[in-house]
Amino acid sequence: MAIIVDNDTRLVVQGLTGSEGRFHGLRNKAYGTNVVAGVTPGKGGQDVDGIPVFDTVAKAVDEAGANTSLIFVPARFAADAIYEAIDAGIGTVICITEHVPAHEMLRAYTYFRPKGVTMIGPNCPGVLSPGKANVGIIPAEIFTEGSVGLVSRSGTLTYQIGHELTQLGLGNSTIVGIGGDPVVGSSFIDVLAKFEADPQTELIVMVGEIGGDEEEKAAQYIAEHVSKPVLSYIAGFSAPPGKTMGHAGAIISGSSGTAQAKKEALEARGIQVGTTPTEVAQLVAERIKA
């Protein structure tokens, strides 16, 4: 098994006819993801490498059976694309678009959250279940199928740790990049709960970074609700206080949101924190072999 995307994923790419949507949509298809449709208003009836394009997500659902949406549209249209996918009955929405205004995402969050929709992003690399489906921009060729669940706020750190695991002969059940914005569709806790319920996942790696308190909340949740071993890595120990580093969500105030504070919160609940991505992979290998 896996979480969020798998062999049953039937993908519609919102923005398939754009350069980014086309490039990554076709990469996802080449990996083996069942890409059943694209959506670009006004371009219905066309196709992209044999993938039919519809004017609306509703038509993609009705005529192609889409159940998962990948959003590659400009930031000013991203929130509307999320609403459209949800209103069409899509159960999983993954938004890669960055620079989506926080207030628009906050309104969208209050809309989709009560509906039970799984929302990943925005400003994220997507979700990969090796050997099953790749939905987003994750370089799937550096990952292998296995039993390690990986959830991260950082895309590139996700790639590095996944590659380190592959080099050690280990694989992943699912890799989830939740995104680095202040308001995202799924938290660490949301994804941890899915991994806890997934039979394929034996161990979980959580990659955090400075800013906010999501890692501290996750630490408490893990202590109370997660029975599987969890290892972590926190990026940003050298970041100056009060400065945004890379992601919009990576801003700290005083001692709140610092890498040290997050590390202490995790370790206080028995969660081992690696100092480098390489060390994290080695710790995973040691834990699995034990």
By annotation, the residues acting in catalysis are: 247
**Helix, coil or strand: residue 129:** strand
* C-alpha to C-alpha distances, 178 to 27, 30, 279, nearest whole angstrom: 20, 23, 22
Name the CA dihedral angle for 162, 168, 172, 176, rounded to a multiple of 10 degrees. Answer: -20
Are 25 and 48 contacting, i.e. CB atoms less than 8 angstroms apart? yes
In this structure, the strands spanning 126-129 and 172-177 are: antiparallel
- Residues β-bridged to residue 13: 38, 70
The alpha carbon of residue 72 and the mean position of all alpha carbons in its chain are separated, in whole angstroms, by 15
Written as one letter, the residue type at 276 is T
The helix (run of H) or strand (run of E) holding residue 150 is: strand 145-152
Distance (Å, whole) CA 178 – CA 200:
20
Are 81 and 53 contacting, i.e. CB atoms less than 8 angstroms apart? no
